[in-house]
Each structure stands twice: as C-alpha cells, then as structure tokens.
Structure 1
Amino acid sequence: MTMVLGLKKIYHCFMDIQALENAFATYLRNNIHSDDGSHDLGHFRRVWHTCQRIDASEGSRGDLYVLLAASYFHDIVSVPKNHPDRSRASVLSGERTASLLASSFPMFPLDKIPFVRHAIEAHSFSAGITPETYEARVLQDADRMEALGAIGIARTFYTAGFMRSGMFHEEDPLGLSRPLDDARFALDHFALKLLRLPETMQTEAGREMARRKAELLAGFREQLVKEVLGED
C-alpha cells in the first residue's frame, strides 16, 4: 500500500510539472518578445533539460518545481551585455519571477517561490551572488553549460555579430603576441572565459559535463586557427 501511494505521489508530481512547463512556455511565447536569439524559449528549455540531467546524475535530490520555474524565467528581464545595469539582470529577473509566479500561476506552490528567486538571482556570473541552495547550484551549472559545446560556439559568434565585433584576429587569432580582447574578437572569448568554465561548476556532474563540452570548444578553436593561418 505504501509503495502504491508513493507511485501515485510521483505520478501526480510528474503531471503537475508537465502542466506547469506547458503553462510557462505558453506565457513566455505570448508575452515575452526579444530579438536576442541566444536567450529565447529554446534556451530556457535546454537549461531545464540540463538541470534534469545534472540532478539525475547527482541522485535526483532536487526540487523539480524550483528547477523548472528557475529554468524558464531566469532571463525574463533582459539587459544588453554592454548596459551599465547588466550585473543587476539576475536580481531583476528574480524579483519579476517571484511576482509573476504568485500572480499568474496559482498552481505553483507559494512556499517554493523564495527558492526560485534565489536560484535566479545567483545564476548569473556578473551578479557575484553565491548560490546557497542545491537548486541554485544546479541552475548555475545548467545555464553556464549553454556557453560550452556546439551551442556555446554558435552563441559566441551569434553574440559577436549582435555586438558588431569581429570573429578573430587575422594575423594572431590565439593572441600570442597581443592582449586578448573579447570585446573585439569572438575567438578571444574562448580563452578569456569559456575554457575556464568547467572549473567554476558547482556540481560534480556539471563539472564532468562541462569538461566534455570544453574539449569540443578547444578542438573547434584548433581547427579554426589552422584554417585562418592556412595550415589546414
């Protein structure tokens, strides 16, 4: 009997999560319009899926309600990368998400909203807020994972185009005899930030996943430099 009740509880939780995900996606699709393709609905879905993968590898101990809401709304307030308030984007997103969950999603448990807010506030690199909960650490890892692997490569050069910066320095793409400057060259961002991300991951599962994705980044950079220098 206890096993049956446990299975029913898991089933109802799964159905609630599915319903909430559909509701969140519908809300974002109808109410949030952004021209930033690196922070679109696809990004939110991928972060949610990565959160689930990390949590499963870590023993499935996370609160899926918190991880789901934080994944879908962590970038609900978008601040351009070169804006002076960029570092406050996660705090503003946390505030707005807390208000939104309470007012527009009556099926979402009110007691979980503070945990969602903290996870969102702490996910950003530029905010400098230490993640205090397991869910906040998982979200931070999942969001940073988007900067690695094939998606990370695509996002890096997409953002460079968006910011009207160059792809790479023609004569010295690796910056061997010049200062690295990722505001001018997208490829410089690999060395300055992206290839350092695995060591910043908060969970062991996140670190392992990030290492694999960073290897792809490093391989891409090596091949790109060969082609740029005519050595391929």
Structure 2
Amino acid sequence: MTRLPALAAAFAPHDDLADKLLPYAFSGNDGSHDASHLIRVWKNAARIQAEEGGDDRQLAAAVLLHDCVSVEKNAPFRAEASRLAAEKAWEILDGLGWRTAEISPVAHAILTHSFSANMTPETLEAKILQDADRLDAIGMVGAARCFYIAGRMGSGLYDPLDPLADNRPLDDKAFAIDHFETKLFRLADGFQTAAGRRLALERQVRLRSVLAMLLDEI
C-alpha cells in the first residue's frame, strides 16, 4: 500500500482521484491485472480520448475500477466479472459522494468493457474503456500476458506435434498459442473508436510477428 501515492501520479491529471480509488482497484494476485495493467490502460484511454473526446474524469474512474473484482480466467462465473466490478464500483463512488448521474456512466463502462461479458458499450467513455483494455491484450504486451496467464493456468506453450492445430481442434486451455487464434487475433475487428481501431491494427501486426518468430524458433 505504501506505493499507492507514487502510483497515483501515473494517472495525472487525475492523480487525486487515483489516490482515492487505487486502494480499491485490485483484488487477487493476478499479474496480468495489476497496477502496470491499469497504468497501460489509462495511457491507452487517454490517447484515444485526446482524439475522440469524452469525459476524462469518468473515464479515469472507470479505468481505475474496471478490474476491482478479480475472477480467474478458468472460473465458472468468469462472464460475471465485469458485472461484479460495476456493482462494487458503484458502491465505492457512492461512498465517496459521487452523484448517481456521475456514477451511472462509470458503471456502464465497467459493465461493458469485458470480452467475456459480450455486451455492447453505448457511451463514448464505455467505448474508449473497452478499446483501451483490449489494446492491452494484443501487441507485445498482449503476447506476454497470454504466456503469463497460460503459466498461471498450467497450460503448455504449444502442441509439440501440431502447433498450429492443423489436424486437431484449437484448445487454448491446453496450449498458450492456441489463444492467439481463439481470441487475440479476433479482437482487432471489434474496436469501437476510430483511434482505437488504428492502434489495434498496429498492435495486431506485432502480435502476428510474435507468433511468427515463435514458430520459426520451434
């Protein structure tokens, strides 16, 4: 907890808000959804917001609290994670004196940001949060997170006899690189903002390069 004031500075110009919300921002010990993830998502969101507009204070709150309830990737109620986080975020912001009209768009952004929830964001802030979070799942960081999560889940890196699943069903619970095809390469087609789509295409190229280099080495 002693690092939280220093971490808050990374969310400037909303470092005062971050100082209040960071104590609630994490649950569990998932290194793919930690402080570094929040900072990257905020940088992505701020970059998109600078082009697209939107309420940056609401966006900062949504970024800071979007993972405030942690549910493991292999948990049976994984699809409920964003709903649980939105409900907790509402309670936190209400406790800090936010008005309902301010909390509602933050909760909506958190509710709809998750790929697992399969919900469409309706506000600009929600679209930016979804794009900013998904940018962190592709590119070099996305590849690193994929392999990290595979290790947490006890998966192998790849099928030694059929890495690209030419003659077997894809199984991203068993093999990390299967997740590239089952999810990561699909993300770039679902971005909500023009700025997000442009950034996603750049990172998609990097992600495909990671896979190509891995396949060359094996």
Please state how far the C-alpha of 1:171 moved relative to its aligned partner.
2.0
User: Is 1:17 equivalent to 2:14 in the alignment?
Assistant: yes
Please state how far the C-alpha of 1:196 moved relative to its aligned partner.
1.4
Within 5 A, what are the aligned runs for 1:142-181?
142-181=132-171
Give aligned-pair identity as a percent.
Answer: 45
User: Is 1:36 equivalent to 2:30 in the alignment?
Assistant: yes
Within 5 A, what are the aligned runs for 1:36-75?
36-58=30-52, 61-75=53-67
Which entry has the higher C-alpha Rg, 1 or 2?
1
Distance, in Å, in 1 between the alignment partners of 2:175 and 2:24 is: 32
Structure 2: gaps spanning 5 or more residues: 1-10
Q: Tell me if structure 1 keeps the 8 A contact 2:27–2:69.
A: no
Distance, in Å, in 2 between the alignment partners of 1:139 and 1:15 is: 17
**In structure 2, what is the equivalent of residue 212 of structure 1?**
202
Distance, in Å, in 1 between the alignment partners of 2:202 and 2:162 is: 27
**In structure 2, what is the equivalent of residue 133 of structure 1?**
123
Runs of 4+ in 1 over 4 A off after TM superposition: none
**In structure 1, what is the equivalent of residue 6 of structure 2?**
none
**In structure 1, what is the equivalent of residue 212 of structure 2?**
222
What does the per-residue CA deviation read over 1:32-70, in whole Å, with 9 as the maximum and x for residues that have no partner? Answer: 452110011111121111111011122xx2101111011
Structure 1: gaps spanning 5 or more residues: 1-13
Given the superposition, is the C-alpha separation of residues 135 and 33 from structure 1 closer, same or farther in structure 2, using an over 3 Å criterion? closer
Distance, in Å, in 1 between the alignment partners of 2:212 and 2:205 is: 11
- SS of 1:38 mapped into structure 2: coil
Counterpart amino acid of residue 128 in structure 2: V
What does the per-residue CA deviation read over 1:158-217, in whole Å, with 9 as the maximum and x for residues that have no partner? Answer: 000000010111122111222111111000111111111111101111111011111111
Q: Tell me if structure 1 keeps the 8 A contact 2:49–2:56.
A: no
Distance, in Å, in 1 between the alignment partners of 2:13 and 2:196 is: 26
Distance, in Å, in 2 between the alignment partners of 1:115 and 1:180 is: 37
Counterpart amino acid of residue 115 in structure 1: P
- SS of 1:39 mapped into structure 2: coil
Equivalent of 2:106, from 116, 121, 140?
116
Pairs aligned (count):
208
- SS of 1:202 mapped into structure 2: coil
Distance, in Å, in 2 between the alignment partners of 1:79 and 1:125 is: 13
Q: Tell me if structure 2 keeps the 8 A contact 1:160–1:166.
A: yes
Distance, in Å, in 1 between the alignment partners of 2:216 and 2:27 is: 39
In terms of mean alpha carbon deviation, does 176-185 or 90-99 score higher? 176-185
Distance, in Å, in 2 between the alignment partners of 1:110 and 1:40 is: 28
Please state how far the C-alpha of 1:15 moved relative to its aligned partner.
7.9
TM-score relative to the length of structure 1: 0.85
**In structure 2, what is the equivalent of residue 3 of structure 1?**
none
Equivalent of 1:90, from 67, 82, 85?
82
Distance, in Å, in 1 between the alignment partners of 2:31 and 2:14 is: 26
Given the superposition, is the C-alpha separation of residues 15 and 73 from structure 1 closer, same or farther in structure 2, using an over 3 Å criterion? closer
What is the RMSD computed on CA atoms of the aligned residues?
1.7
